[in-house]
Amino acid sequence: MDRFSRFIVRSTTFLRKELATIFRQPRLILTLILGPFLIMLLFGFAFRAEGRSLRTLFVISDNSPFAQQVQEFAQTIGPAIVYEGIIPDRDQALSRLARNEVDMVIIVPDNPMDLIRNNEQATLEMYHNEIDPIQVDYVRQVGRLYVDSLNRKVLQSVTAENQEEAGTLQDKLEAAQSSATAYREALAARNAAAAASEKQNLNTDLVALRILAGASLGIAQGTNETFGGGTTTDPDQNANTLTDLDTLIQGLNSTPDPTTEAEMQQQEQDAAEIESSIAELNTSLSDFQNMDPNVITSPFTVKTESVTGIELELTDFFTPAVIVLLLQHLFVTFAAMSIVAERRAGTMELFKTSPISSSEILVGKTLSFFVFGLVIAAMITMLVVYVLGTPMLGRWENYIIAVVVLLLTSLAVGFFISLISENDTQAVQFSMLLLLASIFFSGFFLDLRLMWEPMKAFSYILPATYGIDIMHDVMLRGLPLPTTVIGGLALIGLIMFLADWFILRRLMQTR
Amino acid sequence: MLDREQVETQEIPDVPERPLAIRTRELTKAFGGEIAVNKINMDVPTGAVFGFIGPSGSGKTTTVRLLMGLYEPDDGEISVLGARPSNFKRHDRERIGYLPQLFVLYPDLTVWENMNFTASLYGVSFWRTKLLNRLLDLVELREDKHKLVRNISGGMQRRLSLAATLVHDPDLLFLDEPTAGIDPILRKKFWDYFKELQVNGHTLFVTTQYVGEAAYCDFVGVMSEGQLLTVNTPEGLRREAYGGDIVKLGSTERIDYTLRQEVQNLPELKSRILNATDYELQLLVDDGATATPYLVEYFRDRRKSINSVESFFPSYDDVFVKLIEKHRNNENG
């Protein structure tokens, strides 16, 4: 036989040996394939993406006028808060919280309106019994949601009251409009006495209108100023309605009675402008009256959509990462146990005295676990895609390339662990440490973008980091293979294989 | 301990000049300051069966591992098939077979799969079914070839190891205690096969604790406490241990003290009584072949009736013990 044929014979000896050993353990294979699938299936059934409902107890003093409103409001706020009742005793409420009978206690101040009138914010005290930082954050968010909703509710109520009040201004507006018309007509008739009298009437009507319409016009004006063209009226005119009214009153009061023809003409023009301003004011108030208080207090809402065009379930999102983590862990462990087991059994001595080289051992062992890895990966993938329904938006050939590179790199890392381990226990420990590091640093469940920048370097020495990134792109986004990422993964594999070869070569040498 | 000159001038009768398969000079290996192999000088000619005998811990396995290139010697020279073991090339390893002391094959594979595995390690062609069957026949495992190794007995595992060692038809075989744990009948069969291998031109270096197996060897090296006490032919070992041949003489009449003294003082025999009863004598003589007819004649002349005169071969266990004692006595001055 020539040299190459002997290389093939020597390398494939491991393929037959490892596969025979593995396939003689059907329970192992079943566990490796069905295990992850069942876990994902159960996870899909068990995990609910909806936020948790917090059983909430309110503490309000017996004589508080807000008890009923708090109850009504808490019952309508949504599923995040489950109303558990109102009690006056703060200590009793906190004690129930400590016993986990409720999830949250909200203590309402006795005199919130007094505080607000005194230009102070009324603070609601919220207590929880969580230790999980994610749950603590969730409780805070629910608290903020509650307070925001409460504030909005108050604003809506105030706005609605003002809209109602604006309706009562109609008579005053009509009176002012009539006085303005009479004033202009008296001036047009050059009847100074009548003009003076109508001016007096107009002034009286305007002052009364200003006093009564202040609040309503203030909100209407504020709305216009903030949102510009958000109402049906011209913003430039509406914005200054209230100010204009003040200016008109001031101007009317400071204008002397006309004595000359020129003054008559000037004041006639002024009177026409006053007429026009009152008409505009009427329009503004009508617009304000017709607006939905909810739109005024919450003028913006949000609608979120993904450009991927697909809505993913939580299980769908996690499945590619689970496949990656599982393949990495399985084949790192298989490889890690492989050479260390040969050393324990004494077969390394057999290799040392035989013509097989370190590269033939590495190629042979890699080949055998790789073939097994492909079988496992294919079975798991078929199950998650065709049974669990995990989306596969990309091209299958890209998926296969990703799995191949991931398997080879994982094996290279596993052999490295095997070669630096003294015994089986150490090899298992190293493999478990790698798994733990991969769970926390690969982006498996914590987004890498949340990580401190220098620590990302650590993430990128883990094959799983690359694998998850690639699988998300290929499976869930339908993108082509990210060449830089797949290149990085392959580079790690290559470096590890070279290190493996170097260490194994030294191990095979005479002591 | 024999010095270099003693070994080199060892007289090995009836063995033609052949190139050396193994040659060591002052071969020394220590572990953590404790000397395991101490200045061993040894020549093993090609085509010989070399028995390496010694008690457990005497340094046999260490020597084999040095010869296999698994250990680097601390001092001395080694040449195996003309190469230094620590520099063995692939071609050198393909010419050598090694049966380690412990079973190192795979218990989760069948007998057949283990044979296949070893054959592939040595690059034996995939067309090897006939060869493997023949080897399994030799070790009487053909019927068990589909059994998992973990389910066969220790003796069967040993036989499998031997078959696996022979799978690539090596020129030189290092067999570290191949017959340990094997029943006497199969042990005899193993040695017959070793002899067959020798006839086919193979060289065998066999370590054993069974001193009696020295009889199967062309040459025997006796190890004790890391030292090679002697290298000789099996027959030469007996002579070396006792200082001559032993002749056993039996008589129907009582052999009295005077006669014993006369026999012992015969100038032609230079004999010494090793053991004596009223009717039997064991005499140590220079040469059994000449002493036997002389003794028959001597007793006839004295009208003493004798019913047997024969060469006596003490067991190799006794020979071994004698050699160790002799060595210790020499060391103690």
* pLDDT in the model for residue A214: 63
- 8 Å CB contact between B214 and B51: yes
Tokens of B31: 């572990």
What domains are there in chain B, each with its CATH number? 4-238 (3.40.50.300), 243-331 (3.30.70)
Judged by CB atoms closer than 8 Å, whether chains meet at B96 and A20 is answered as: no
Pair A384, A37: CB distance under 8 Å? yes
Residue A243: its pLDDT value, please?
72
Q: Which residues contact A508 (CB under 8 A, 6 or more apart)?
A: A348, A351, A352, A357, A358
Instruction: Please judge whether A13 and B124 are an interchain contact, meaning their C-beta atoms are less than 8 angstroms apart.
Output: no
Quick check: A346 and B102 CB within 8 A?
yes
Please list, residue by residue across A307-322, b when 16 or more beta carbons sit within 10 angstroms of its beta carbon and e when fewer do: eeeeeeeebbbbbbbb
Amino acid residing at B211? V
- Read off the amino acid at residue A150: L
SS3 for A39-55 is HHHHHHHHCCCCCCCEE
What is the mean pLDDT of the segment spanning A299-326? 83
Q: Choose from A68-72, A96-100, B4-8, B307-311 the range with maximum mean pLDDT.
A: A96-100
* H helix and E strand count, chain B: 11, 13
Q: Best interface-test mutation with B: which of A3, A350, A351, A508 has the largest number of B CBs within 10 A?
A: A350
Residue type present at position A304: T
Q: Does the beta carbon of A357 lie under 8 angstroms from any beta carbon of chain B?
A: yes
| pLDDT grade for A233, boundaries at 50, 70 and 90 | very low
A449 membership: H or E segment, kind and range: none
Would you call A16 and B93 a contact, using CB atoms and an 8 Å cutoff?
Answer: no
Torsion-angle region of residue A309: left (phi > 0), alpha (psi -120 to 50) or beta? left
Which of A388-402, A415-429, A447-461 comes out lowest in average pLDDT?
A447-461
pLDDT at A449: 86
Residue B14, pLDDT > 50, answer no
- Closest among B274, B262, B246, B270 to B304, alpha carbons compared: B262
Distance CA B46, CA B202 (A): 7
pLDDT the model gives residue A232 = 43
Backbone angles phi, psi at A326, to 5 degrees: -65, -45
Mean pLDDT of chain A: 85
Give A344's contacts in chain B (Cβ within 8 Å).
none
Question: In the predicted model, is pLDDT for residue B179 greater than 90?
Answer: no
A23 to chain B: which residues are within 8 Å by CB? none
Instruction: Write the DSSP assignment of A167-178 as a string of letters.
Output: HTTHHHHHHHHH
Interchain contact, B100 vs A349, CB within 8 Å: yes
- How high is the ipTM of this complex? 0.80
Asked whether the beta carbons of A233 and A196 are under 8 A apart, the reply is no
> What percent of chain A shows pLDDT beyond 70?
93
Question: How near does any CA of chain A get to the CA of B17, in Å?
Answer: 29
- Tell if the CB–CB gap between B106 and A345 is shorter than 8 Å: yes
pLDDT class of B132 with cuts at 50, 70, 90: very high
User: Is pLDDT above 90 for B98?
Assistant: yes
- More confident: A33 or B284: B284
In angstroms, the CA A394 to CA B141 distance is 55
Question: Amino acid letter at A167?
Answer: G
Q: How far is A494 from chain B (nearest CA, A)?
A: 25
B162: chain A residues, CB-CB within 8 Å: none
Nearest to A484 by CA among A458, A460, A459: A460
Return left, alpha or beta for B311; rule: phi > 0 is left, psi -120 to 50 is alpha, else beta.
Answer: beta
Scored b (16 or more CB within 10 A) or e, A235-256 reads: eebbbbbbebbeebbeebeeee
Return the pLDDT at A271: 84
Question: Where is average pLDDT lowest: A343-352, A421-430, B235-244?
Answer: B235-244
With vertex at residue A502, the alpha carbon angle to CA A501 and CA A508, rounded to the nearest 5 degrees, is 85
Cβ distance B116 to A16 less than 8 Å, yes or no, reads: yes
Q: How far apart are CA B222 and CA B318, in angstroms?
A: 13
Is beta strand B34-45 parallel, antiparallel or unpaired with respect to B203-208?
Answer: unpaired
Number of A–B residue contacts, CB under 8 Å = 82
- Lateral strand order in the sheet of B34-45: B34-45, B20-31, B75-80
pLDDT at position A155 over 90: no
Residue type at A54 in one-letter notation? L
Residues A444 and A389: their CA atoms lie apart, in Å, by 20
Whether B30 contacts B18, CB under 8 Å? no
Rounded to two decimals, what is the model's pTM? 0.74
- Of the candidates A508, A209, A222, A120, which has an alpha carbon nearest to the alpha carbon of residue A350? A508
Distance from CA of B119 to the nearest CA of A (A): 9
For residue B29, give the chain A residue with the closest CA.
A511
C-beta atoms of B104 and A349 within 8 A? yes
Asked if pLDDT for residue B1 goes beyond 60, the answer is no
